[in-house]
Amino acid sequence: MQDAADYTSASQIARVLTEKWVSQQVACPLCGSTLKPLANNTPGRDFYCVECAASYQLKSYKGKRKPKLIGAEYRTTVSILLAAGGPHLLVVRYSKEYMVQEVFWAENKDITKDHVQPRRPLSSTARRAGWQGSTLFLGQIPFKILLCKPLGGAA
């Protein structure tokens, strides 16, 4: 697992810290077993359960509850999240001090294409011209609060 000290970007530090926190504090919501991290850059999946083999995509954000989050590349996100056996969604909300505030999750069956919308493609002058991100609309997904080991502590 990566070390947050290797990064200067706040979003990369948060990614590393929340991934580490989840691997230490969150059990599989479906069966209660251990979640293990997948290799970095595994498309659409960040963790898997060692017992039931369920997979999870982790999204995290700082601050108050949000109705939407910026997602990954649109076509990949849609194809992975909506595929049979696609990942469940874990969401971690943390403070500016990287303290976990809340963890919630949604089953893959409750996520539809309506929850994932394309963003405008990058301009022709951008380094990744034509790349199209996505927006994930959280407010429309039926999430469940996840009780973890001691909630709080540095992510």
Average pLDDT of the residues in 138-155? 73
Domain boundaries along the sequence of the chain: 4-70+85-113+140-145
pLDDT digits (tens, 9 = 90+) for 46-94: 999 999 999 999 999 999 999 999 988 999 989 988 788 899 999 999 9
pTM, rounded to two decimals: 0.87
78, 116 in Cβ contact below 8 A?
A: yes
Domain 4-70+85-113+140-145 has CATH 3.40.210.30: yes
pLDDT digits (tens, 9 = 90+) for 89-144: 999 999 988 899 999 999 999 999 999 999 999 999 999 999 999 999 998 899 99
Give the span between the Cα atoms of 72 and 70, in whole angstroms: 7
Both structure tokens of 33:
């077993």
Helices in the chain by DSSP H: which ranges? Answer: 10-25, 74-81
